[in-house]
Amino acid sequence: MLEVVARSHRGRICEYKRGGESVSTPFVMSSEGPVSVSRDGSSRVLRLMGAEAPLDPPVMPTASSRQSSGPASFGPVCVARLPLPDPLAIPCDAEMVVVPNAFELRGSPRRLAESVVRLREAAGPGRLLCMLGIAEPSTIALLTYMGVDVFDGSLAIAAGIRGARLMPEGEARADRDVSDENASDLEAECAKARAFTAAGRLRELVDQRAPSSTSSVAALRIFDDAAYAYQEEACPTVGGRFACNTTQALRRPDLRRHRDRIAERYSKPPHKRVLLLLPCSAKKPYHTSKSHKAFASAIHTARHDTLVHEVVVTSPLGIVPRELDVMYPANSYDIPVTGEWKCEERAMIRGMVSALIAQGYDSVISHLDGDVLDGVADMTRTAVGDPASPASLKRLDSALREATRGMEPASDFTERREMAKSVLAFQFGREGADAIMDADTYAIGKFPYWKIIREDPSDRSNKVQLGMLTPERGMVSLTLEGAEALARVSNAVEMTDFEMKGNLFAVGVESADRRIRIGDEAIVVRNGEVAGVGVAEMSGREMEELRRGIAVKIRHKRK
């Protein structure tokens, strides 16, 4: 029986139990223990808590032979040799999928990434994935991040016997047998992968380790590109602080999802007529920083502020409209600030700003210090050196007054309603935003604490709260009434017919919207009626396929 107890993108910590014994993943097998590999004559045998599986058949095709064979089943162990058959079908009773000749993927980054994705997709979230002969200290974090659970030390030991010292930072030559040192570093690095996974920051360890070899850099680049959909499914919509210290970090799936959602879901609030481009800040969310409070002193000097659309320009996200700055990942990232823009950053930012401008503004004001947006559009520049200096703020105030001269300001009611609708569209999609924010719905409160209220059109004194935006959560949390509005469109989890006492566990899930991600609002439905609403602790696919663990942490439930 397997239970996922912690996740970091595709990396995970699992508790696997069988026959009274248990292990915690990721781990490195040895020749002893509840899960181990040993030799039986000239062949290897994998032992899984009382079950045995021979790994080396008499005829062993290589990964490059193109002579694939179907997986072999030995009780709870499924042995899948390379090359993998197409389609790849895993027996229903398998609890672990083992690839005994994974060593043949070493030095082939594309085949490695493709093979891991195919294996994990076929195995699903409820089985362990074991790849033998491929782990070394510099790659075990990357392999864990890709979705591999179990490793062995054969490669590290064999290399050490030949005098190759394998370390997390790379490989060095030695004039003696260093297999013990290699094995020790492999175990230590696996422990680090577990620690970073438990903290939700495994990608940062991967970004540190990948540059140790050209093949690891290539594998990560290919994985980020070709396997984005596979990664994004396991990528949470909430999280803590993380660092983007390398160019490759720009391609993290959570950052790419932000950029995709801006392109696919975001529309500027219709009453915003002046686009104001602002620099980011080290402190997150931006509106709490000293510099952005200074900007606010120049922006909110009169009622024209409702016409001004504040948009933060930043790498690695591109753009962050003010109403989204409490949402992940805008509220969580750190990046080195040097004033220099790499080509990839420039292209990404210029493209996103151009697309936003194309939505239609009367004028554009740039309060940025630098030339990253030169030539993108006609715009007024207001920063004089430091954007937060008194001279810059004075120029900003004057430019905004001039740009909005003669315009009728939008009401505070319109400002809150349209800004809240933008948040809902980014979080739930435009159809979801329309379902919640209909003609009788509006927002009250002061950003970033907005309550979404719906009135009964036949009795305006009859009001009900549908949800609330808070910076602590970083998104809109729904009430049962808000859940009823959204359930017709998305984020529904159908439970079996029983009385839910507390949280909803995976064993009680009948079906789930496959678009649900960890951290999303999840609406529990029983017999066509909303039974509760809370936070998804699994992706939609995991809710359907896993049998243990909390699927939805319930906030409100129907009495």
pLDDT per residue as tens digits for the range 189-241? 999 999 999 999 999 999 999 999 999 999 999 999 999 999 999 999 999 99
Average pLDDT along the chain? 95
Element (H or E) spanning 400, and its range? helix 390-403
The Cα–Cα gap between 408 and 249 comes to: 43
DSSP sequence for 266-304: ----TT--EEEEEE--SSSSGGGSHHHHHHHHHHSSSGG
Q: Are 555 and 533 in contact (CB under 8 A)?
A: yes
Q: Longest C-alpha distance within the chain, in Å?
A: 90
Pinpoint the alpha helices (H) of 200-248: 202-209, 214-226, 228-233
Domain spans in the chain, listed from the N-terminal domain onward: 2-234, 257-403, 418-557
Whether the pLDDT of residue 463 is over 80: the answer is yes
What is the band of 559 on the pLDDT scale with cuts at 50, 70, 90? confident
What is the band of 70 on the pLDDT scale with cuts at 50, 70, 90? confident
Distances (CA, A) of 230 to 10, 12, 38, 136, 462: 8, 14, 33, 24, 45
Mean pLDDT of 31-57: 90
Tens-place pLDDT, residues 96-111: 999 999 999 998 999 9
19-23, 47-51, 533-537: which has the highest mean pLDDT? 533-537
Q: What is the pLDDT of residue 337?
A: 80
Whether the pLDDT of residue 458 is over 90: the answer is no
| Residue 69 half-sphere exposure toward CB, CA atoms < 13 A | 14
What is the band of 487 on the pLDDT scale with cuts at 50, 70, 90? very high
Q: What is the pLDDT of residue 338?
A: 76
CATH class of 257-403: alpha beta
Distances (CA, A) of 468 to 120, 188, 258, 481: 37, 44, 21, 12
What is the band of 340 on the pLDDT scale with cuts at 50, 70, 90? confident
Q: What is the pLDDT of residue 152?
A: 97
Q: Are 537 and 546 in contact (CB under 8 A)?
A: no
Distances (CA, A) of 254 to 329, 346, 434, 513: 7, 19, 25, 20
Tens-place pLDDT, residues 285-313: 999 999 999 999 999 998 899 999 999 99
Mean pLDDT of 167-190: 97
The Cα–Cα gap between 481 and 359 comes to: 33
Q: What is the pLDDT of residue 61?
A: 63
- Please list, in sequence order, all residues whose beta carbon lies within 8 angstroms of the beta carbon of residue 411, skipping any fewer than 6 positions away: 306
Q: What is the pLDDT of residue 60?
A: 63
**For a pLDDT cut of 90, what percent of the chain falls above it?**
90
Mean pLDDT of 444-461: 94
Mean pLDDT of 39-47: 87
More confident residue, 333 or 370: 333
Mean pLDDT of 2-31: 95
The Cα–Cα gap between 474 and 289 comes to: 17
Whether the pLDDT of residue 39 is over 90: the answer is no
Mean pLDDT of 430-437: 97
Mean pLDDT of 502-514: 97
Q: What is the pLDDT of residue 69?
A: 73
Whether the pLDDT of residue 62 is over 70: the answer is no
What is the band of 138 on the pLDDT scale with cuts at 50, 70, 90? very high
Pick one of 2.30.110.20, 2.30.130.10, 3.40.50.2300, 3.50.50.60 as the CATH number of 418-557.
Answer: 2.30.130.10
